[in-house]
Amino acid sequence: MTIINNDSAISEVMALLMLVLVAVSASAAYYTWIANLQEEVQITGSEVTETRLNTFMSEIEIVCYPEYVYYNTDSNLDCKITSNATLDERFIQEIQVLVVNKALFNLTNVKVRAVSFGNGSPEWAALHFDHSTGRLQDREEGDFHPFTNKSLYFTSENKTNTSIRYITDEGCPYFASNYSNGNTTINTTNLTDLTPLHNPTYEMDDISKGEVGTGYVYLLINHTTLPADTALKLYITNDQGVDAYRTIWFSIQ
């Protein structure tokens, strides 16, 4: 039998050290790979979260007065807002609605809808008003219902108990008048043929991203017992489906 002397053989200690080095290197490489993968996942997750957040934050904000309070509306002290042959306690409230477009895109076909008061609330109706002429618009068709096809103008500041009031969003009262003489009020107690309309819709202009749109809602408080505390919801809709709503409180004393 021939014995071969192999001087190039690796000792058991060296082999063990090499195995340890290989294991450490593999562990380090695996750790680095895992760390990079986690970073990529975190970045991807952050991007997804940011995208979803941007989508969520693509919203609109409704700015308007949160509450309207009325005092001394009951002229004959019968605990009612009403109209008869000698007295007209009814009033029309203008509500200015500002819509802030915080979305990342333009909003088209923007509308504001006034949702009905709850049960037992005031009898009311939606009207439409022309700022350029001070005229209550007469529309047979559409969303707005006037009084018996009458054209009313609100230009007089002379207070009278027989003329319906128009209150601007700033709280300035005007009274129905003869358009040819803005300081002469007219008797509106005979305007009683009112068609109630709930959930009326008012159109607004398109609103570019980052811009503010302005709309108006006109509500006639036609009859109610006093005191009356109730709420009205304003919904904003558009073609893009970025909707919002705002609750407004009415307190009539």
- The predicted-structure confidence for 22-53, as pLDDT tens digits, reads as follows 777 777 777 777 777 666 555 455 555 544 44
3-state class percentages of the chain: helix first, strand second, coil last, to nearest 5: 20, 40, 45
Owner of token pair 């009859």: 223
84-93: string of b/e by CB count within 10 Å (b at 16+)?
A: eeeebbbbbb
User: What pLDDT is recorded for position 146?
Assistant: 47
Measured distance CA(233)–CA(131) in Å, rounded: 24
CB 220 within 8 A of CB 194: yes
User: What pLDDT is recorded for position 155?
Assistant: 77
User: What pLDDT is recorded for position 49?
Assistant: 53
User: What pLDDT is recorded for position 29?
Assistant: 74
Owner of token pair 């008061």: 117
User: What pLDDT is recorded for position 143?
Assistant: 42
Length in residues, the chain: 253
User: What pLDDT is recorded for position 107?
Assistant: 93
Low-confidence ranges of the chain (pLDDT < 50): 1, 43, 50-57, 138-146, 148
User: What pLDDT is recorded for position 150?
Assistant: 56
Residues 6+ apart with CB under 8 A from 15: none
DSSP string computed for 14-81: HHHHHHHHHHHHHHHHHHHHHHHHHHHHHHHHHHHHHHHHHHHH--EEEES-SEEEE-S--TTSSSEE
Measured distance CA(124)–CA(168) in Å, rounded: 17
Residues 6+ apart with CB under 8 A from 135: 129, 151, 152, 153, 154, 179
Beta strand 87-88 pairing with 173-178: unpaired
CB 111 within 8 A of CB 203: yes
Beta strand 91-101 pairing with 60-63: antiparallel
User: What pLDDT is recorded for position 239?
Assistant: 92
User: What pLDDT is recorded for position 53?
Assistant: 47
